[in-house]
Structure 1
Amino acid sequence: MFDAVVVGGGAAGMMAAITAAERGKHVLLLEKNAQLGRKIRITGKGRCNVTNNCEPRTVIESTPGNGRFLYGAVNHFTPQDTMDFFEGLGVPLKTERGNRVFPVSDNAHDIADALWKKLKKCRVEIRQGNVKEVLTENGSVIGVRTENDVFEAPSVLLACGGASYPGTGSNGDGARLAEKLGHTIIPMRPSLVALTSDDEDCPAMQGLSLRNCGVTVTDNEKKKKPVYTDFGELLFTHFGLSGPTILSASAHMRHMAPGRYTVTLDLKPALTPEQLDQRLLRDLEKNKNRNFSNSLDELLPQKMIPVVVRRSGIPPEEKCNTITREQRAVLLDVLKHFTVEISGFAPLSGAIVTAGGVSVKEVDPKTMQSKLIPGLYFAGEILDVDAYTGGFNLQIAFATGHAAGENL
């Protein structure tokens, strides 16, 4: 018999198991994969954005999905605590743009391996197994059942992740286990995910990456101020838009429906409209005897030229010296306000983070224990909590895992 069973060997589960074991608890960690920390090992393009070097308040403000629920956990185990924890395990860290924290080695395996070594040092028992049922008696937890075994314990933590990247083991199993026990599951949907569009210009520019692009997202139903603005890298795909700025933007699009949101790109954000107009005048003068479609090589990537020419309404074969001020104004507007209507999110399986999951109304925010089933705990992405990019989601996993581990 164990004091606690932790289901899921990801960031939240490993942190919880370590924290409980350091309190002297006899802990069993069950993971369906042969290797622990599968998702950690691929996060941040294999570099692992461990946390964000910020105040707890910033983590909460950067969590549009139920950030207030995290107040106790994130203030008790802060980003600084996360950084101290990993540096204490011999993994030096560095802070980059946007206060994002990475291992100095730029190797996500160093984070996952440090957690694994700490588990072994704390004598956490690690077994491979797929939990099929959380066992209860008289309304309280008494253990779990896998395909082949039953493990008894008065505390069980479900830290099985969400439903994104199912190849890493996060396939929604944990939510189904919780639902069987009577918990409300908020429908899972993608967050930090690429966007789909029916605009034929996207596949026409498939593979084109823009390094310095202004991005603005507007909600066409509310017509108020933009729901998101950003600057940085963007990628056109065969289905729509992707890249870091788009993944971040997706977390702000909480009411997705076809046509609800428009992404507007500023293709020349470093130039004011007046400066860009002067640039266009110079380019047109320089190419005055050439066709308009052959005059944009220095201004735009090759793949984008036919699209911008068509959107401008200027005939491709029109000579540059005949282009009017009105035509130039339309071209300027296309360059500063290149719109893409969004039809939806790319599939949940490709999302970095899952929104939705176990309703936080049914979980004690201080202990992460279920309010319905004594002895049942939750941590990490299985909870209906999701944040923006920048290390915030891993910080949430570590903080909620630590809170659960202190109370298992």
Structure 2
Amino acid sequence: MTHYDLIIIGGGPAGLFAAARAGAGGARVLVLEKMAEPGRKLLITGSGQCNLTHAGDMPGFFGHYGKGGSFLKPALRHFTNTDLVSSFTALGVPLKSGEDEKIFPVSRKAQDILDALLADCRKHGVAIRCGEAVRGVERSGDGFCVTTAAGEYRSTFLLIATGGASYPSTGSAGDGYAFARALGHTIAATAPALTPVTIRDYPFSDLAGISLQNCTVSLFREGKKVDGFCGDLLLTHNGLSGPVILNASRFILPGDEVRVSFLPEEQRDDLVQTLTGCGATRVNTALSTFHLPERLQKRLVDRAGIPPEATCAHLTRASRNRLVQIFTGHQMTVEALGGYRIAMVTRGGVALDEVNGKTMGSRIADGLFFAGEVLDIDGDTGGYNLQAAFSTAALAADAVLKRLKSAGSS
């Protein structure tokens, strides 16, 4: 039986990147992937275009991970977005930032990223065994024993990089949580995140596909405002999506109320002035200066109970206030959040207080490491989750190499 320096469970971006990095440092590495091919979830990121990371300096990243931002600081500083761009450029996959500062491969093909990772693993002698679902993990002497249907594998170090539970059809089904528990770790409650929401008695089904920029969404629970978000909004056939909703979904519960401003916050006063100062101008004509999609504008006016032929002069104070409220604080109740089948990431995972953020090493089981979404970390859309996967993978791989070097010189 071959004894490996490092066994990695999971052949996604974090697992493959850590494998290649550890292999480049001289470690004997085995990757175990339960699917027939590695990297299936990577291939669907960014609608197949693979939004790898985001532009900007690292301090700007920390606020995009909620409570996990502080934990991630050492990893993000150890392996930055600039490092990530340089790494893939060196692997023959140039990256480019768009106007929204999202960074993609120039080719806009996720397959190019996966091919580069696999080629780098081959270059550094990494063994990748696909179609081998891990059945169990346990401590064995000074290392670990990992069991699959094909047999047992042993290693000095173990890295769990199985991802979360979202998009289970790609192999990301939450397996890593059971492995972590078996080795003594606590799992913070998991739930779908970065997912659309369905709305109770939704009034915009026939307007699905309309998108709006710079909308404000306020989140209310039991009548009290608990959070607020700003970003692009997409109307779907049964609810709301787009970056502002996806990012907010990590904090939304069924039954919560969302109040949507279809106009940027700074235009609220302009809206009031327009409605009070346009006299004989029809309401719909006066509102056209705000450049909302025409069908949406007419629907909002209708929902305010205002006839299409009404002029601004016809508006009572009550009807004007109702119209302003509809445009800048439309109230909707969340029926449900999209499930794991469509959620981009998973909220919850391996408890962060049981992991050393400076190494990604377990505080419970010596020699055990974690990388990527299996941890209780979830970031905003825009490349933040993949950056976290690569950064934690790099930090874990380097920590393993440091331990191996130290053991070799002792």
TM superposition shift of 1:270: 7.8
Describe how 1:318-333 pairs up with structure 2 within 5 A.
320=311, 323-326=314-317, 327-333=319-325
| Equivalent position amino acid for 2:235 in 1 | L
Please report the TM-score for the alignment, with normalisation by the length of structure 2.
Answer: 0.87
- Using the TM superposition, name which of 6-15 and 341-350 deviates more: 341-350
- Using the TM superposition, name which of 165-174 and 323-332 deviates more: 323-332
Q: Secondary structure at the match of 2:137?
A: strand
1:99 matched to 2:110? The reply is: no
Question: Which residue number in structure 1 is paired with residue 227 of structure 2?
Answer: 227
* Deviation larger for 209-218 or 108-117: 209-218
Contact kept, 8 Å, 1:191 with 1:351, in 2: the verdict is: yes
Kindly indicate whether the alpha-carbon contact (under 8 Å) linking 1:20 and 1:407 is maintained by their aligned counterparts in 2: no
Equivalence map 1:94-173=2 (5 Å): 94-128=96-130, 129-138=132-141, 140-173=142-175
The one-character-per-residue Cα deviations of 1:170-194 (angstroms, maximum 9, x if unpaired) are 0001111111222101111122111
Q: Aligned to 1:63, what secondary structure does the other structure show?
A: helix
Which of 276-285 and 383-392 deviates more?
Answer: 276-285
C-alpha contact (below 8 Å) 1:273/1:336 kept by paired residues: no
Residues 301-355 of structure 1: CA deviation (Å, up to 9, x unaligned): 5654674244212356x65588334334432332232222224422123111111
1:363 alignment partner in structure 2: 355
Cα distance, 1:23 vs. partner?
A: 1.2
Q: Percent identity?
A: 36
CA deviation profile, 1:151-205 (whole Å, cap 9, x unmatched): 1212111100000011111000111111122210111112211112213314x33
Is the partner of 1:183 in helix, strand or coil? coil
Query: Higher mean Cα deviation, 62-71 or 165-174?
Result: 62-71
Q: How big is each residue's C-alpha offset from its partner over 1:255-292, in whole Å with a ceiling of 9 and x where there is no partner?
A: x43333423222476845435753797696369xxxx8
For 1:104 and 1:211, how far apart are their aligned partners in 2? Answer: 27
Letter paired with 1:237 = H
Cα gap change, 1:333/1:125 in structure 2, threshold over 3 Å: closer, same or farther?
Answer: same
Distance 1:124 1:115 in 2: 11
User: Structure 2 stretches of 5 or more lacking a match?
Assistant: 401-410
Q: Is the 8 A contact 2:9 2:15 kept in 1?
A: yes
Deviates more, 1:258-267 or 1:393-402: 258-267
Partner residue, 1:207? 208
Rounded Cα–Cα distance in structure 2 between residues aligned with 1:337 and 1:362: 42
SS in 2 for 1:399: helix
Q: Which residue of 1 aligns with 2:13?
A: 11
Q: Deviations over 1:35-83 (max 9, x none)?
A: 2221111111211111122322222221104221112211111111111
Code of the residue aligned with 2:243 in structure 1: it is P
- Point out the more displaced range, 300-309 or 79-88: 300-309
Does structure 2 conserve the Cα–Cα contact (< 8 Å) formed by 1:43 and 1:108? Answer: yes
Task: Map 1:176-215 onto structure 2 (within 5 A).
Answer: 176-202=178-204, 204-205=205-206, 207-212=208-213, 214-215=215-216
Given the two structures, how large is their TM-score scaled by the length of structure 1? 0.87
Q: 1:18 to 1:268 in 2, by over 3 A?
A: closer
For residue 246 of structure 2, what is the aligned residue in structure 1?
A: 247
Residues 275 and 320 in structure 2, CA contact (< 8 A), matched pair in contact too: no
